[in-house]
Amino acid sequence: MRFRIEMQDGFARTGKIEEVKTPHLIDLRNSQEVEFFKDISERKIPDTAERLFPEAPEIFKKEGVVKKTILKGTYPKEFVKLLIGKRDDFRYPRYIPSIATPQNLSLLLYVGADVVDNASALSKAHEGIYLTEVGEFVLQGLRELPCSCPACLSRDCYRSEYDFLADHNTHAIERELALAVKMLESGRLRELVEVRVKSDPQLTSILRLIDNEVKGSAFFPRFRRSVMFPTSEDSANRPEVEYYFKKLVESYAPASHICLLIPCSARKPYMTSKSHRTLRLKLGKAVRGVNEIIISSPFISPRELELIYPISFYDTPTTGVWSEWEIEFVASKLSTLLERFERVYAHLHGGYREVAERASRIAGVDVEFVDDIGELKRKLENEEKRDFDLYHEMFRHMMRYQFDMEFEIDRIKGRYPNLEFFKGERVARVDTRYGNLDVYGELAIHLKENRIFSVEIEEFDVKGTIFSVGVRRASENIRPNDVVVYHNSNTVGVGRALIPGELMGDVDGKAIESRRKVISKN
């Protein structure tokens, strides 16, 4: 019995147990399906029995391909301890029985459930409870049914209230499962999770505890193709947001001692927006040699990193009214960068200005606010500055952010943001799909030789997808969607990681999507 991983995003993933696609919902009314999963699932001795009978015969135990995690207890911390603590072997599919509902299903998938069942749906049917993705209702209290599933459209055909509710509740979970899988495949499962948990305080608590537990985990991507919608405080705790701010502090090395703080724009990347183009046009040569930092919510971004995910991939509500939490959060992040400058100017109003004022107090750095662009231009012109090439600085910072290294280039081509970087031949380009650098030629070989985001594979000719069984060794800091360099004695190539590096060679399924060969002796 094989379990193959198709793609992974955090702990959530899609795959197959033989020909059964996962994530999968077991309908406990289907005896054939129940028997199939019973045969391939592990069986454990209950904790109480094991304590009472430590010498219990092994006959009661069964390993099984499918591993079970029984969630019990009434407090969020207990749930999270079991959800995260038991997730130590990704070679096997994980079955979380008895608790799936339309409301919590996306969260269960987010923490790694591959298989769930409709036990809760059937149990609630016995109680006369009608399930929805935002909570439950007593059926007798519903004058109209807020659903158009097959069961609700043919309610009069049912002989009993239980039969109707059992079908509806199961349909509701199936519908939510289909939606969650689509969101997972498009890199947007987190958005669905945040929407669902808001309808239940306990689920919200569980998500916050999970975010705290998974900080720094290499299972969560740094780069995505999807747009992020940071619409709540919980969005700021997303693993990729936490990673961005950590790497921002580590990788930001401004070329100038002068900084200009400016507001964000709705259009991304910022420099393609009308407001930023107009400001830079009016400032003209005065902006040369000045490091710009863009303020948004919940992000701050140096101009040098505006092409990195998530800075070019988010959309946030703009009302002009900043909450106290937003001001404090963004100011605390901004303050860590202000300390790197001798002179700081700001062209800001409203909440943006409040953020800069508070960051100024936190960092103990003076910020000079200038409302008139003409006056700002004169002040910047009078500063002694060291000029630098912005696009070179963008490349340098993206390299530091993505690969923790620097690499010399001699020229740049392309129209912003589609920049290409050369050292004789092309060595990298901005991949605007994922918000990172795609690598070529000499840079790929450099990464391979220094074992940076590198994957050693078995001796075979790469045709397209590289499967996990063909991996000998992989850098453990590789995350899904990372650009990696794969190699053996005949080939050096560049690809996109589909699973974390620490799982490559250890699980069954796809590991790398090959993009190109840099060297091939075949």
> Is 224 among the domain residues?
no
**45 and 134 co-located in one domain:** yes
Q: What is the pTM of this model?
A: 0.91
**178 and 258 co-located in one domain:** no
Q: How many angstroms separate the Cα of 149 from the Cα of each of 85, 132, 173?
A: 37, 11, 11
Q: Is the pLDDT of residue 266 over 70?
A: yes
CATH of the domain at 447: 2.30.130.10
> What is the rounded average pLDDT for all residues in the chain?
92
> Is 228 among the domain residues?
no
Q: CA-CA distance, 61 to 59, in Å (whole number)?
A: 5
User: Are the C-beta atoms of 132 and 103 separated by less than 8 Å?
Assistant: yes
> Is 415 among the domain residues?
no
**148 and 54 co-located in one domain:** yes
Q: CA-CA distance, 326 to 357, in Å (whole number)?
A: 13
Q: Is the pLDDT of residue 61 over 60?
A: no
Domain end among 178, 213, 248:
213
**320 and 380 co-located in one domain:** yes
Q: How many angstroms separate the Cα of 85 from the Cα of each of 44, 77, 79, 80, 427?
A: 17, 11, 10, 8, 42
**8 and 155 co-located in one domain:** yes
Q: CA-CA distance, 209 to 67, in Å (whole number)?
A: 23
Can you give the residue range of the structural domain that contains 244? 233-390
CATH of the domain at 146: 3.20.20.105
pLDDT for 154-204, tens place per residue?
999 999 999 999 999 999 999 999 999 999 999 999 999 999 999 999 999
Q: Is the pLDDT of residue 260 over 90?
A: yes
Q: Specify the pLDDT at position 23.
A: 97
pLDDT for 26-45, tens place per residue?
999 999 999 988 888 876 66
> Is 112 among the domain residues?
yes
Predicted confidence band of residue 398 (pLDDT cuts 50, 70, 90): very high
Strands, DSSP E only, in 127-250?
Answer: 129-132, 135-138
Predicted confidence band of residue 311 (pLDDT cuts 50, 70, 90): very high
> Is 12 among the domain residues?
yes
> Is 427 among the domain residues?
no
Predicted confidence band of residue 379 (pLDDT cuts 50, 70, 90): very high
